Structure 1
């Protein structure tokens, strides 16, 4: 096999490969003879069909199969010999004739070499959150609402009421998909609907009809509705107000706390502290990752983007019912996932480059601390510790998070980090995954 580098430019390298004719022709002949032993052809007894007849009938197919076996091994060897870090390959056959050298070109898409720079341009707002008695009392009030009983009332809708409504939404005068519902329950002030929607219901009475105008947020998950003004025709079917339970032994027991009211208050404070730490880490990490993608130039291999798109399609199909779903991956357009796939691939390449260059590792002390933090939430902490350490997938996930956290701290040491005051409940809500409006 002869290999020559035609050109190497950016993340592309084109190899010209030649394989002696004998390597392919001999394998084709070998397979033709094997087929001849069992082939059935009109006019010939089984096993007595001349090789020439078999070759004429099956030769093209056999040669195609041989190339399917030979080419991957040959171009993999060529890539290895040239010491190329391949992300993907495209093969073009230049010459494929019996008795002549097999010639093909391999367009090798390489993993990019990444220069980690401009980290000082990354801006991070680090949440500074007050977590005191006021926040603790609000959390307890929220928990009481979770166990509230709802009683129908005959009055105007107020904040914190639960209403049942029918609504129809229109954009540019046209009813849009997903913008209508019957008998939908909405808790006023919960933020479950887009801004302005719940506020528009306040003051309405049972059986009253009203049209409100609201604007979809610029960061709304549906691209077609971002920033669009919409009208909603609303009918209130019923209005209910909450009757909150007292904080007693029965109430505490419903949250799985056995130590009584004092233990309940202690647990609330500890849980909120854990949530605050996790939410702060999520927000800082998100800003760091977005900042890395914006600051660092990377030529992203198309092969990796395609793999990420295919993975996203398969994940979507699984959520839709897996093998029972009528939709197939090839029916879903790539462009739906392309922008996010490019972002995620670029981020992954940057993270891997930083980890390799800085040699970040998950040290035993950090791993143990994270496992301990996880286990402390559970009643049988020892069982959780043992399980996590034995489960390779979970243990590897913890190691990955430890390394990510070290990377985030390292970037923050070089980035522009400023403290920003934030409400505890806003921080928790804004750092959780977005849910569709309806």
Structure 2
């Protein structure tokens, strides 16, 4: 299509395309649309699709004008938008400048919001505070995790020495439980194995520690108000317990069978997979901690405008998410300006932060490949018990963009952390 265009700067985040299309191109659009309608048109006296175009233009003139105008505007604007060096972030607001007619030139304007290119500064050598637990030795963590899995997949052996049960042992116990003198039959246990590793109620572990085989003990246990078993919440009960035997855990050997039980063919394959999981988990945790600090620093050092439409759409999403978990009668009204104003400051910072990281990605040459995006989608799907193939298959362009954006943010934060001054503290 032949057209001419100019671009007017409305403000720092808005541009207006002024586009003119000659009559010859308008005439072609009319003809193409009329031919398309002709293929399916049903006019009395003619077989379907066989009516002459002159009649088509007579009976379907309104449709032809509308579809031809849409065709001309969409094609001309799309072509013009491909030639610019800025990112368009909104749908165009179209304003015709004259009547759309077959034998006349046609002019229109298309106003869009943009994300102008900005050179970010002072994002290196940022001071970041992190909990010391995020400063991990991957190989050490791998060794601890493999050891933990080996214990879980191992077996217990009875200790015949007659010694007292100690921390780290498995106590083979039998007990009855009473509440206010009433026996709780459903709580009785025989030959129950309790690993003394600090994961049980302290009162129970403390009572068992130090007992020798066949020794018994009567002790009280008060259950917390948030205990998972509703019938025991907040209650104080009495245990009459006997230690049947002391057992020790024999860890499973780190061999091929161990690897298979973890879903891998070899121990090397299992180690590689677990190592990558540790790395990714740590990187994500570090990114989450650093994100807010990085954004605060970058925004304090860089002033720039953002398109109002981006802020408004961010507010729309925030209200929609809030309403998703709210009963209908209590939902927020999207068009309530007081409600929108409560979200505005947050939305402004959210948009500016994401755009700032995007500018840094451009300056640093950081890109996200399709493979990285799809891998992130697959990880998300598995974490949420979804079929990765179904998620990828059904996702549209917007979902792809969201995952690509998430990966981009992590890569930018990782890049910034390479030169950041990180202070590890014991604070959470």
TM-score scaled by length of structure 1: 0.48
For the pair shown, the structure with the greater C-alpha radius of gyration is 2
